[in-house]
Structure 1
Amino acid sequence: MLVILAAGFAPGLALLSFFYLKDYYGTEPLSVVSKAFIFGAVLVLPIMFLEYILKAENIIMNHFGTAFLSAGLIEEFFKWFILFYVIYNHVEFDEPYDGIVYGAAVSLGFATLENIFYLIGNGVDQAIGRALLPVSSHALFGVIMGYYFGKGKFTDKNKHKYIFLAFAVPYLLHGTYDFILLTQEYWGYWMLPFMAFLWWYGLKKAKMARVLSDIHASQML
């Protein structure tokens, strides 16, 4: 069990540390980051229940619905909801890059507990594949979501647009990710370029958030 817990936690904590340590202006309190991580983990149980109901009652009966409604819509909406209602107005969310940290924390909290449950059911030999695909993709969905939250909070115009994009962009990416897994017999040939794009896009948004924080810090002087 200790091996499963270590394998389940390791990729999420490693990815969260990567984005956390790039926060140069007033590193976020670990207590608040941990709170975001825990909130994300708690989401696993109600989301698993909702997804089970949708499947058991045959409410969603095709791959498109599973990818874009059962998985993408429900999971990204709940993560968006936590970020908006718990983190967005928090006093510690005081620069654009903070959205990256908190977005990654919520997403990786969810991905970590989901990962542990999966490894308990399917064996620790699945750990590397889980780290490379579901855990890292959740991290990047969270980074992208956090970028738009940071952009929206610290801009004077189009705030509602960025809050909407904070949900819409990760939702579409998440749905596409699941659709590839569910519909492509040789999904690896499609997943490799998709994950390359997702890493490029996520790191680009993190870099853009860093620039926005630099501008924000200079305006505060």
Structure 2
Amino acid sequence: MDHGHAVGEVNDNHLDFGTGVTSVFGWQANLGIPFFCFLFIAFFIPLIAFLMFYWLGDGWPDASHALRGVFDITFWIAVWGALFGFFMLSLPRWLAYGRLKNVIPTRFNRQRREVCFVPEGQKEPIFVPWEELVAWVTEAQGVTEYGVQRQYGFGIGFYHPATNEKYTLEFQTYGQFQAISNWEAIRAYMEYDVHTLKEIQDPLDLQGPDDLPW
């Protein structure tokens, strides 16, 4: 499974690695967090004020007056706060999409059994036989004032067929299991074990009777 959504496109001819987009959950969080904050500030806080003045004040008159007064203030705070939160959450995502347009993916062609690389700063692609590709998982651990920190990554490398120059390409991952799963997704595609993007990425669809349990 490609848990990190690093795979961008899969078809019968090739797989593009390194240009995948984030999952649907990211967009749900972008919309859900500001919307929840809007509901909490605009309606829940006035409701708390209503209950407090109803119990501690002069009953219904004080409670209804407090509800209207607090709602007039919190509603516009909620509106502008939710819009600002949505903008701040969406800005990094749109910037990432803008950078993604200029990224040339690493293409794995299983029909020709070769991998196409375009190193940064170069225009000419490099074609490497699939069997000569080397893959690895990296793990780094360090101690800071906040505790032990671990970093994981997935890397692939090869020697240029013409110049014998060494090239490496590494991706940061959230954990060792995710790094291994990235390689397994590529290997399964090249060995004709999977044929569609849905087989290696969670599409967030309803689970079918023949789907895997994870």
Tell me which interval the TM-score lies in, with the shorter structure as reference length: under 0.3
TM normalised by structure 1 equals 0.23
In proportion to residue count, which structure has more strand? 2
In proportion to residue count, which structure has more helix? 1
Bigger relative CO (Cα 8 Å, ≥ 6 apart): 1
